[in-house]
Amino acid sequence: MSGNGDAAATAEENSSKMRVIRVGTRKSQVSLARIQTDSVVATLKALYPGLQFEIIAMSTTGDKILDTALSKIGEKSLFTKELEHALERNEVDLVVHSLKDLPTVLPPGFTIGAICKRESPYDAVVFHPKFVGKTLETLPEKSVVGTSSLRRAAQLQRKFPHLEFKSIRGNLNTRLRKLDELQEFSAIILAAAGLQRMGWQNRVGQILHPEECMYAVGQGALGVEVRAKDQDILDLVGVLHDPETLLRCIAERAFLRHLEGGCSVPVAVHTAMKDGQLYLTGGVWSLNGADSMQETMQATIHVPAQHEDGPEDDPQLVGITARNIPRRAQLAAESLGISLATLLLNKGAKNILDVARQLNDAH
């Protein structure tokens, strides 16, 4: 056999021996979940050319129950449970999620091993074709706006009392189709990052800034969930951590966890990192937006360069493991979230949240 033949045979042999990393994702053809997973896998492939990545798609509870508002289903791990079962059974090695879908307390045995650089965390308004060029403010009286989120509905009802808000479910494709084809909605509210990732920026008619509508905890960021004890995979995905996004999201998740918020209550945040200061604004609303409470706090946090060594001890913070980011910065971010939640609870936020939860359960 010629030298070339030997080399080809060896290359073929090596490729068949390449370690395969199995990546779990939610099932659906041109879905946001798949696009997000593909983008993370592309980054990992570039970082680890010696590894093979196989994508395994599966349906989740949230994908199957499409006729009920998310806040009514009462299941914290709506879009994650089946994927976590696959992780647990060793059928996949990692799962890519929208970070806002991941509860602040993960089931035992799992951790978020990476939080990728955040895209726009804001909400966007997509208008029915006949209202293109309008804003929420200039929509006609009693126009119906679709959103699957209590957080958006509560804030926007307060800000735009001339509008009516109604639940709309389904993936992005389905919601856009419902908007365009049924004459039911004048506009719908979606996460700007999702529209961006799908390449549908041209449908965005208005971006909602924090003074109009603060965003969900973790919105715009992707989280990579892995087995907490799988050191190999933790090391593999850990390089994806974006330090600023990580610290902002630790503060946001600590705030939500301490408030004991979730899908069934309107809680929203806004974070910014400037000149070594992390600013966190958090708010809670009654379901109709009439009652609300929000505060801002800040903490001095050194945003580390990637790969700066942190201490070896490694308990998770709000479900996240980040060994390559100094522990001190992570703890300061967590402490900021807890302090802000404590401030709001001391001022009576618990009452607003309890009533919102009861009303949501009753409907």
CATH of 20-120+217-362, one of 3.30.160.40, 3.30.70.20, 3.20.20.70, 3.10.129.10: 3.30.160.40
Q: Which two tokens stand for residue 115?
A: 């939080």
Q: Is 101 a catalytic residue?
A: yes
Q: Which long-range contacts (C-beta less than 8 Å, at least 24 apart) are formed by 129-135?
A: 129/180, 131/186, 131/187, 131/205, 132/205, 133/205, 134/187, 134/205, 135/205, 135/206
Superfamily, domain 123-207:
Periplasmic binding protein-like II (3.40.190.10)
Catalytic residue among 101, 123, 230, 242: 101
For the chain, residues classed under CATH 3.30.160.40 are 20-120+217-362
In Å, how far are 141, 242, 312, 314 from 117, measured between CA atoms?
A: 39, 5, 24, 22
H helix runs in the chain, sequence order:
3-17, 32-47, 61-64, 70-73, 81-88, 150-159, 172-181, 192-197, 231-238, 243-259, 327-346, 349-362
Residue bearing tokens 């999201």: 249
Q: Which two tokens stand for residue 246?
A: 């990580």
DSSP 202: G
Q: What is the rounded CA–CA span in Å between residue 238 and residue 307?
A: 9
User: pLDDT 10s per residue in the chain (363 long)?
Assistant: 445 555 544 444 444 568 999 999 877 655 888 999 999 999 999 999 999 999 998 876 554 444 444 444 444 445 567 888 899 999 999 999 999 989 899 999 999 999 999 999 999 999 999 999 999 999 999 999 999 899 999 999 999 999 999 999 888 888 999 999 999 999 999 999 999 999 999 999 999 999 999 999 999 999 999 999 999 999 999 999 999 999 999 999 999 999 986 667 899 999 999 999 999 999 999 988 989 999 999 999 977 665 445 444 557 899 999 998 999 999 999 999 999 999 999 999 999 998 888 888 776
For the chain, residues classed under CATH 3.40.190.10 are 123-207
